[in-house]
Chain A
Amino acid sequence: GAGVSQSPSNKVTEKGKDVELRCDPISGHTALYWYRQRLGQGLEFLIYFQGNSAPDKSGLPSDRFSAERTGESVSTLTIQRTQQEDSAVYLCASSFAGGKLFFGSGTQLSVL
């Protein structure tokens, strides 16, 4: 596809369960970002991948959160032992060498 694709678009889970969120960036984009957006709030930086460099994980809120990226391709954000405060929209964006960001439509995560 031409744009950034995220799946699933919606995820409802029970407290304590693990979830995996997927992001397919635009082909050729070297940079990939994950952000979290709570209802009515701004975008909260989570993690940044740039090429083959070590990712910048400084925004991950706790050790329950982790993310991986395969080369300059797909990325997965994993949240272990989900809590109700994890409920939010998780947005992925990609760019070429740090330029203009292209966002996916996000994954709406609801933790019951």
Chain B
Amino acid sequence: LAKTTQPISMDSYEGQEVNITCSHNNIATNDYITWYQQFPSQGPRFIIQGYKTKVTNEVASLFIPADRKSSTLSLPRVSLSDTAVYYCLVGALSGGYNKLIFGAGTRLAVHP
């Protein structure tokens, strides 16, 4: 099972771009990379998912280098409401056994 490593915490200011990097050196060929966001007193919610290169949606971008041993979640122009814990997860996208283990996550604090 691919283990993930992320920074424990990050600080930013409103309007800045935030990049959170996750290491997953043992990622398997059929593993996808998924990022989740968790606010206090809520369950995590899906942000973005990718396999390689770059994925962008209305919320974030995900950059994955060719060796796929790491990934970077990019949040453009953060606001106070982006203060949350961000989790990186690797696992197979479809079929078969897929036990999903969360790492400790990154606590992002956005300041005025």
Residues of A whose CB lies within 8 Å of any CB of B are 4, 31, 33, 35, 41-43, 45, 48, 50, 53, 56, 58, 91, 93, 97-106
Contacts and interface: CB of A to CB of B under 8 A. Distances in A.
28 contacts: A31-B98, A33-B100, A41-B104, A42-B102, A42-B104, A42-B105, A43-B87, A43-B102, A45-B99, A45-B101, A45-B102, A48-B98, A50-B97, A50-B98, A93-B43, A97-B93, A97-B94, A98-B95, A98-B100, A100-B34, A101-B34, A101-B44, A101-B100, A103-B44, A103-B45, A105-B42, A105-B43, A106-B43
A70 B88 CA distance: 30
B49 interface: yes
Given A31-B98, A45-B102, A56-B99, A98 B93 contact: yes
Q: Which of B97, B98, B103, B105 has the most CB of A within 10 A?
A: B98
Contacts, number: 64
Contacts of A98: 91-96, 98, 100
Dominant SS at the A interface? loop
Q: Which of A56, A58, A103 has the most CB of B within 10 A?
A: A103
A106 B94 CA distance: 25
Given A43-B44, A93-B43, A103-B43, 17 more contacts: A31-B98, A33-B100, A42-B85, A42-B103, A43-B102, A45-B100, A48-B100, A53-B97, A56-B99, A91-B44, A98-B94, A98-B95, A99-B94, A100-B46, A101-B44, A103-B45, A105-B42
A31 B92 CA distance: 12
A76 to B, nearest CB: 18
B34 to A, nearest CB: 7
B44 to A, nearest CB: 5
A98 B1 CA distance: 14
Closest 7 CB pairs of A and B: A103-B43, A98-B98, A43-B102, A42-B104, A97-B94, A100-B46, A48-B99
A31 B41 CA distance: 23
Interface string B16-50: 00000000000000000010100001111110010
